[in-house]
Structure formats: C-alpha cells, structure tokens
Amino acid sequence: MRITDAQTTAMMRGAMNANADRMGKLMQQMSSGDRIIQPSDDPIASVRLLRLQREEASLAQFRSNMGALSSSLAIQEANLKAVSDTMLNLQDLMLWASNGANANQDVAAIAGEMASIEQTLVSFLNVRDEEGRYLLSGTRSNVPAVTFNETTQSYEATGNDQHRQAAVANGVLLAENVTVQEVFGGDLNFLNQLHEVVKMLQDSALDAGSAQTRERLSQALEGLDQSHGKLMATVSELGGRLNVLDMLEESNTDVSLVNQKIEGELSQLDYAGASIDLNQYMLALQATQQTYLKINQMSLFSQL
C-alpha cells in the first residue's frame, strides 16, 4: 500500500492535534483543580458525585432545621423553668395565706402578689418566637395558648395538643414543641383554681382563719403540686430532645466530613500525576513536530 504525501501530512497533523487536545484538557484540569471537567470524563464517578451533592444538600437542610428547632426548644425550656420557679413562689404564698394568724392587710398583700403571679404565668405560657408564633399552642401557633373568657370568668386552652414535626435526619422527625394542654390539661384546672383563690383572698369580708378558707387553699395547693410535677416531667423531656439534637448534629457532621473526603478523592486532580502526563504529552508533541518537519524536508532530489 502506497502512503501519499497528503496522507502522511494528515496523519501527522492528526497526531499533533490529538496531543494538543490532551494538553489543553490537562491544563484546564490543572487550572481548576478538578479531575472531572464534564461527566463523560468519568461517568461512574460523576454519578457518585451527584449522589454526594444531593446528600450534602439534605444534610444542610437538616442542619438548618436543627438550628431552628434547638432555638425553639431552648426558649420553651427556659420559659417552663420560669413557670416552675413562679409556681414554687406561689406555693409559698399559699402556705402563708393558709396561716390562720394572718391579719387582713397581710391577706390583702398576699392576694395582690398572687394576682401579679397569675398574669405572669399566663405571659410565660403564651410565649412567642421571633416570628410571632405561639410556641405552646400546638399546631394552632397563630392563637394564644391560654386566653381568659370574660363571660365564664375562667381560663381556656385556645391552642391544641398537637405537635409540630421537624425533619432532623433521614427518616427522623422530632417534635418541635410542647403544649399547654399536655402539661396542664385542657381544662386548665391549675390556673382556674389560682384565679378563684385570688378572688377569694381579695374579698374584704373573708375570714382568713375559717376552716372553709383553709380547705380551699389546701385543694389549690394539691392541684398546684400535681401540676408542678407534670411540668417538671415536661421540662425533663424537653432536655432529652435537646440531647437527641446534639447527638444527631454530631452524626450529621461526621457523615458530611466523610462525604467531603470521598468527593475530594473523586473530583480533585492528582497534580503530581498530571505534571508527569503533561511532560509526556509535550515530549510526544515535540517529537511529532520534529518528525513532521523531517518528512516534509525529504524529497527524491535530496537523495541525488
């Protein structure tokens, strides 16, 4: 088979163009630091990278959810602890009021302080987040957890006992709230007993030392003690959720670090190997160019 000059030229040019393309691509990889410029460079690795990127996006969303959830639970925990402290203070006042030796002015002072505590408790239970949502109203976060009905002269739970859920890991949902109803019951007996006791103590005709007065205070104290026990159980449960969040956050961070390591191994360029390849391509290109020049200079006349 006879090789013509045109065929020789085409072959040489093809070889030089191929080497030039390889060099161009390699220099593009070296400038970006990425081994994979387009999916066809490594289809299997490209698919794995897409999966890792989707997982990292999910982990970022979980981190965002956990941050918001942690803040919300911390606010609820702080407010319920404040409620606990206030209830203990209220317990002391009720014990003082049940002392039959109190003068009328003492009873009036106790009643005034208890009335202030009553309003403080309601404000704690109607705590809101930075977006104005009532945290202890269940899924009805646009309405107060507790309202006072002027017609019936009693407190009502105007939220519900449902939990809002937040995704914090793959397949893991965590309740982001507690509710007034689950702590104090739908009838809010504790608050209503307090309200009635305050009204009783504010009555100027009250006989503070009577058996009836002491009995009503004793019943209110018993209800207060039971409600405080439920409250502390809820505070402990909130602390448990915060601990779960901490563990999940550590777990998600570990997964993210592993993903970043794998992603680096799949996508980052090996500069040492790339430098060797670049030198080889340059040598091959130079050799091809020199060969091409020599062949072009050859003719029958040069052999005469």
The verdict on residue 67 lying in a domain is no
Q: Give the domain CATH number at 234.
A: 1.20.1330.10
The verdict on residue 92 lying in a domain is yes
Q: What is the pLDDT of residue 192?
A: 94
Q: Identify the domain containing residue 89 by its residue range.
A: 80-243
The verdict on residue 51 lying in a domain is no
Q: What is the pLDDT of residue 155?
A: 95
Tell me the Ramachandran region of residue 157: left when phi exceeds 0, alpha when psi lies from -120 to 50, beta otherwise.
beta
The verdict on residue 98 lying in a domain is yes
What whole-number distance in Å separates Cα of residue 227 and Cα of residue 229?
5
The verdict on residue 293 lying in a domain is no
Task: For Cα atoms 34, 37, 42, give the angle at the middle one, nearest 5 degrees.
Answer: 95
Q: What is the pLDDT of residue 50?
A: 81
Q: What is the pLDDT of residue 256?
A: 85
Q: What is the pLDDT of residue 149?
A: 94
The verdict on residue 283 lying in a domain is no
Residues of the chain with pLDDT under 70: 1-37, 39-42, 264-304
Q: What is the pLDDT of residue 7?
A: 63
At 231-241, the pLDDT tens digits run: 999 999 999 99
The verdict on residue 230 lying in a domain is yes
The verdict on residue 256 lying in a domain is no
Q: What is the pLDDT of residue 18?
A: 64
Q: What is the pLDDT of residue 277?
A: 64
What is the tally of structural domains in the chain?
1
